[in-house]
Structure 1
Amino acid sequence: MITTDFVPGSPCWIDIGAPDVPATAAFYGSVLGWEFQPMDPDTPEGGQYGVFKQNGKTVGGIGLLTEEGARSAWMIYFHTNDADATTAAVEQSGGTVRVAPMDADGEGRMAQYTDPQGGQFAVWQPGKTKGLEVADRPGGLCWTELYTTDAAAAKEFYGSLFGWQTQDMELPGDGGTYSMITPASQPDERMHGGIMQLPTDALSLTGGRPYWHPVFAVDDCDDTVAKVTGNGGSVQMGPEDAEGVGRLAVCVDPSGADFVVLTPVPGATGA
């Protein structure tokens, strides 16, 4: 499970780069019940950045997509006590730095990277802002997932970087191997994500490049999927039942950012 008691290597923040912030905020408001709180609603620039709230608590962030040629996507941030040291470790392990460590107005220190296979991720060193205020409940982040072309290499890279522990499980119907992730020295209850190897042609959203995506807990997967399609989004897979996990669907918002919605079975871990 994902908690807000963050430890090194655990997911602690998510945000989305959107080509149209008001439209994207409206979509997630309709689908997940989030409220958009702009950074400065009195200026055009301030209205392009802000946070998503659920019952007054922060569930993620949103900003204007400015990188030329980039697709709209969710970025997952993992907790670190030292963003500069993590950056050095990324480079030593064969990753690349997309955004060098930078301060965020005293809220924390962040950096963004690309792993050796091409998956993009980020880290957050907390300042005044520790991270998400909602997790592992309806409307909140409950799991993170990496689709990659080389699971063994990904496990080696992230294991070296964060000390992640992994457990492999065989998926039914010759579905392949799914590797579940737990932060270093943490019990299985703190398991927070998974790594799935897929062929390049299955990664159509990114043209074959590996990518991370978030999983959001919802009360009713089918009802949420109806809201996705009713508000201009689409469904890549599902809704379908995953034994021991719950009912889930892989969705894409109107700007092309993918995410998963999951109604977990009681006591389930993972997506």
Structure 2
Amino acid sequence: MSVAAAGVPAWVDLGTPDLAGAIRFYGELFGWTARMPDEPDSDGYVLFSKDDKLVAGAGAVSTDGQPPTWTTYIGTLDAQATAKLVESAGGTVLMPPFDVLDRGRAAVFTDPGGASFAVWQPVGMVGAELMNVPGALCWNELTTRDPDGAKEFYGEVFDWEVRDTPFPPIMYTEWLVEQQPVAGMMPMVGDDWPAELPAHWMVYFAVNDCDATVEHATALGGTVSVAPTDLPHGRFAVLHDPQGAFFSVIRIAGD
């Protein structure tokens, strides 16, 4: 087993009130196959794969009223040490480090701006085995009203460096590990961000055709939050699945 790189997004999973419906939706949309782990203590957690390689997970929401959401897991070599760093940097530990069968250890946090995220310390499972191809995760992006605070927090927790690029009217940030971009940050400024929308981590899945994927998603019962839009790096859209979890799809320029 290879070791997931520390500070690099390693996994995403979906918490949903309708697991069967989510399996149908994402299976049709991305060509994912769902299976449950062989262990009896998996609590109904589902592993999604594409081309026989793991791409994401899904499980039922743990409490009534919990909103459906995709969670970003960032790789760590020591979940317990990361939890201490989160607290010392001003974040909150929602779920302290816990064992996930024999696959690894996870923990769930919120940053000082209120965005939730998780970490993954691999043991028997590195994380996603397929990335940056159509039907797989290709980018993770923090949206926050406190970008300066986020830079300080994530720099302390993951030793991330930043590269800012003007993207009028905002400044877009790339998080860097060993000078390589591993994630991004979008400041929540302007009328496009309703006051009731909390800070969050967005997940992006690569697709061959953004417009066709949006059309397919709506036919499957999803809804469009941001219509297909051209960006310097490709054409993207923001969708909600039929259960209400939001995610983005992008046709990366040059692919």
Q: TM-score range by the shorter chain?
A: over 0.9
Give the Cα separation in 2 of the matches to 1:5 and 1:106.
15
Distance 2:231 2:48 in 1: 29
Post-superposition offset of 1:201: 6.8
- Number of the residue aligned with 2:187: 197
Alignment pair present for 1:207 and 2:203: no
Alpha-carbon deviation of 1:30?
1.1
Structure 1: give runs of 5+ residues left out of the alignment: none
Using the TM superposition, give the Cα deviation of residue 160 of structure 1 relative to its aligned residue in structure 2, in angstroms: 0.9
Q: Could you tell me whether the CA contact under 8 Å between 1:201 and 1:208 is conserved in 2?
A: no
Report the AA paired with residue 210 of structure 2. Answer: C
- Secondary structure in 1 matching 2:150: helix
Which has the higher mean CA deviation after the structures are superposed, 65-74 or 103-112?
65-74
For residue 156 of structure 1, the aligned residue among 152, 158, 161 is 152
Unaligned runs of 5+ in 2: none
For the pair 1:177 / 2:175, whether they are aligned, the reply is: no
Is the Cα–Cα contact under 8 Å of residues 11 and 127 in structure 2 kept in the other structure? Answer: yes
The question of whether the paired residues in 2 share the 8 Å contact of 1:203 and 1:209 is answered with no
Q: 1-side partners of 2:64 and 2:192: how far apart?
A: 24
Deviations 1:90-113 (A, max 9, x none): 000110111110111121011000
- In structure 1, C-alpha distance between the alignment counterparts of 2:101 and 2:44, rounded to whole Å: 17
Partner of 1:261: 249
Structure richer in strand, relative to its length? 2
Identity percentage over the alignment? 38
**Distance between the aligned counterparts of 2:192 and 2:83, measured in 1?**
30
Are 1:137 and 2:126 matched, yes or no? Answer: no
RMSD: 2.1
- Using the size of structure 1 for normalisation, the TM-score is 0.88
Q: Alignment partner of 2:221: what SS?
A: coil
Contact residue 112 and residue 120 of structure 1 kept, 8 A: yes
1: CA distance between counterparts of 2:126 and 2:213?
29
Residue by residue over 1:118-167, the C-alpha shift from the partner in whole angstroms, topping out at 9 and shown as x without a partner, is 00000011101111100111111111011101111111100111011111
2:72 to 70, 76, 81: 76
Q: Secondary structure at the match of 1:90?
A: helix
